[in-house]
Chain A
Amino acid sequence: MGNDLDHKAAELSVAWDTLLAGNPVDRVGVEPELIQTVRQITAAESGVSINADLENLIWTNVIAGTSELWRPEFAAPSVPQAEAGAVSRGNVISCWIMRLAWMVAAGFAGGFAAGVVSRLAMRVAGFLTVDRNRFMLTDNGNRVGKITLEGTLFLGVLTGALGIVTILIYVLLRNRLPFSGWRRSLGYGVMLLAVFGYVLMDPANEDYHLFGSAWLNVATFSSLYIFLGLFTSQIYEWGMKRGLPARALSFQPAVRIPVLGTAAVLAGIGFLVSVSAMIVGAPGLIVVGLGAVAWLINRFALKDRLASLPAPGLVQTWGMLVVPGIIGVILTARGITEILLNR
């Protein structure tokens, strides 16, 4: 009896496999009524299909959700080429170098631009200063209301360095940030202001009393964070969408080797700048360091197929940043409140 059931079950299974392959079922041991049921339920399901627009939209979403995983490798190869041989370890390393270099370049460019734009905002604030304060020394040793090229360049380079750290944090958090496109970048800028705002919103800084309204000063300094988040992430995304790091790898060896060498130097500078920035600001060290550890844990978990397990929030990147993030928000709120009240 048991053997009979086994046999029937196996026959039905083979018959269904045959139907799936699009072939006619002519097996003797299969019960026709059951095959008819299989045909009936298969037909009932066949009417459901996805439309082309939705299919494309989902694909766009998939790319957006994994953009940091897209190893910059040689555009889309045809299958036979990809089958021809494994990508060498050297190529993989090259890809990572190019990607890191792009992060550094995008971070610096975005940071520099943010610094210059903020400098312009400070100039506006400088014009609004009361006359008795004009040309007094600021907290950093500059003159109130006097905008110099050296000062602008210095600020640009400084914010450029900050931009490198900014883009590092952005890449760590990208998939956890709300919205998409420029809204995500803007949101990231606001998040930077909320979490790291306390670094500039220092009530002991006399500059807040040398310029015009305290509100205006707070807004001016806040703009630096917003521009920093907006510019760095948008430049980074712009390059990644166009596959700029990957494109460099398709150059002829004569061009490719110097490009890779330059990229390696750039990536090295980025690493040193990031570490220096972390050492200079201890809270930044905690946040970025924990985030990096969480990111690594996440990557190894993905590699070991643990991704489908419901991982506790605190071992995920965003979870690791919650506590230091909250501390940053409290410090920022306190700093802004004290600046405004002291005024």
Chain B
Amino acid sequence: MTGIVLPGEEASDDQLVRAAQHALPAFEHLYRRYVNDVFRFCCRRLNSETDAADATSAIFTRALANIGACQAQSFRPWLFTIARNVVTDHYRAARPVETLDESIEVTDEAVGPEELAIAGDERQSLTAALRQLTDEQRSIIELRLAGLSANEIAAALGKSRNAIDQMQYRAVARLRKLLAVPVLQMEEAR
């Protein structure tokens, strides 16, 4: 890696992390790149858009405060390790972070109400199906949905690539069966 970014070329995570370690304002590029993935991850885990917004804020605050300790080559696994810890803390801690609920409106303006309803149903089915998985399987799928590669998930969860592949395989096979079942039936089976 040369470290030189040509016009029109997007800087890599590695370059952005190094830049942010020298001058924090560069962290904003990383924030803009990953805020959606992190927010989606939090929405999935917390089932509340308000809580997800608060958790996203806490995750990036913690990431920014610790950016000096991040290995530039593995920013994404590192970020999602923080994300998992913050989400876990969210359940434990009684002290809430500053709420951001006033501006929360998670909609995709490009799609119509019917498409939204269908997408909502699909998400509901997926949420119900994910609850049927083991914690580790669920974590792997959620990190996958956040855009992490298998190697990054292995790094984030502190497991071998082989172990991740196997758990992921079982999780997908189970999801295949579960997603063929109506949601209500899945909820009743819990």
Question: Which residues of A does B touch, CB under 8 Å?
Answer: 5-6, 8-10, 12-14, 16-17, 20, 33-34, 36-38, 40-45, 47-51, 53-55, 57-59, 61-62, 65-66, 69-71, 73-80, 82-84, 86-87, 180, 302-305, 307-308, 310
Q: Is the CB of A66 within 8 A of B105?
A: no
Q: Is the CB of A12 within 8 A of B168?
A: yes
Most chain A CB neighbours (cut-off 10 Å) among B31, B104, B169: B169
A34-B176 contact given A9-B166, A69-B24, CB 8 Å threshold: yes
Bound: A308/B169 CA distance, A: 30
Can you pick out 27 interface pairs between chain A and chain B where the beta carbons lie within 8 Å of each other?
Answer: A9-B166, A9-B169, A13-B164, A13-B165, A34-B176, A36-B176, A37-B172, A41-B175, A43-B122, A47-B116, A47-B119, A50-B106, A54-B100, A55-B36, A57-B103, A58-B100, A62-B57, A65-B61, A66-B64, A66-B65, A78-B5, A79-B16, A79-B26, A84-B3, A86-B22, A87-B23, A307-B65
* Distance between A110 CB and nearest chain B CB, rounded to angstroms: 25
Q: Is the CB of B43 within 8 A of A48?
A: yes
Nearest-CB residue, chain A, relative to B56: A58
Nearest-CB residue, chain A, relative to B129: A41
Please indicate the chain B residues that have their CB under 8 angstroms from the CB of A5 in the complex. Answer: 166, 169
Bound: A10/B126 CA distance, A: 23
* Distance between A51 CB and nearest chain B CB, rounded to angstroms: 6
Bound: A70/B149 CA distance, A: 31
Cβ 8 A contact of A58, one of B25, B29, B35: B35
Cβ 8 A contact of B60, one of A43, A47, A49, A58: A58
Cβ 8 A contact of A305, one of B26, B69, B165: B69
Bound: A166/B126 CA distance, A: 53
Total interface residues on B, CB under 8 Å, equals 75
Q: Beyond A40-B179, A48-B39: 8 further Cβ-contacts under 8 Å? A: A37-B172, A41-B145, A51-B105, A58-B56, A62-B61, A71-B24, A79-B5, A82-B23
* Distance between A183 CB and nearest chain B CB, rounded to angstroms: 12
Cβ 8 A contact of B100, one of A9, A38, A40, A61: A61
Residue B186 CB within 8 A of the other chain = no
Please indicate the chain B residues that have their CB under 8 angstroms from the CB of A13 in the complex. Answer: 150, 161, 164-165, 168-169
Bound: A34/B107 CA distance, A: 29
Please indicate the chain A residues that have their CB under 8 angstroms from the CB of B105 in the complex. Answer: 51, 53-54
Q: Is the CB of B85 within 8 A of A308?
A: yes
Bound: A83/B12 CA distance, A: 11
Please indicate the chain A residues that have their CB under 8 angstroms from the CB of B103 in the complex. Answer: 51, 53-54, 57
A77-B26 contact given A6-B162, A58-B53, A303-B69, CB 8 Å threshold: yes
Nearest-CB residue, chain A, relative to B82: A308
Question: Which residues of B does A touch, CB under 8 Å?
Answer: 3-5, 11, 15-16, 18-19, 22-26, 28-29, 31-32, 35-36, 39-40, 43-44, 53, 56-57, 60-62, 64-66, 68-69, 81-82, 85-86, 89, 92-93, 98, 100, 103-108, 111, 116, 119-120, 122-123, 125-126, 141, 144-145, 147, 149-150, 161-162, 164-166, 168-169, 172-173, 175-176, 179
Q: Is the CB of B23 within 8 A of A77?
A: yes
Q: Is the CB of A308 within 8 A of B62?
A: yes
Bound: A49/B123 CA distance, A: 13
A34-B173 contact given A66-B61, A80-B3, A83-B19, CB 8 Å threshold: yes
A62-B25 contact given A20-B149, A57-B100, CB 8 Å threshold: no
Q: Is the CB of B106 within 8 A of A49?
A: yes
* Distance between B163 CB and nearest chain A CB, rounded to angstroms: 10
Q: Is the CB of B31 within 8 A of A59?
A: yes
A44-B23 contact given A69-B65, A79-B5, CB 8 Å threshold: no
Please indicate the chain B residues that have their CB under 8 angstroms from the CB of A77 in the complex. Answer: 19, 22-23, 25-26
Cβ 8 A contact of A82, one of B26, B44, B111: B26
Q: Is the CB of B66 within 8 A of A41?
A: no
Please indicate the chain B residues that have their CB under 8 angstroms from the CB of A6 in the complex. Answer: 162, 165-166
* Distance between A13 CB and nearest chain B CB, rounded to angstroms: 4
Q: Is the CB of A49 within 8 A of B175?
A: no
Nearest-CB residue, chain B, relative to A91: B22
Q: Is the CB of B57 within 8 A of A76?
A: no
Nearest-CB residue, chain A, relative to B178: A37
Q: Is the CB of A310 within 8 A of B89?
A: yes
Bound: A74/B31 CA distance, A: 20
* Distance between A65 CB and nearest chain B CB, rounded to angstroms: 4
Q: Is the CB of B62 within 8 A of A307?
A: yes
Please indicate the chain B residues that have their CB under 8 angstroms from the CB of A42 in the complex. Answer: 145
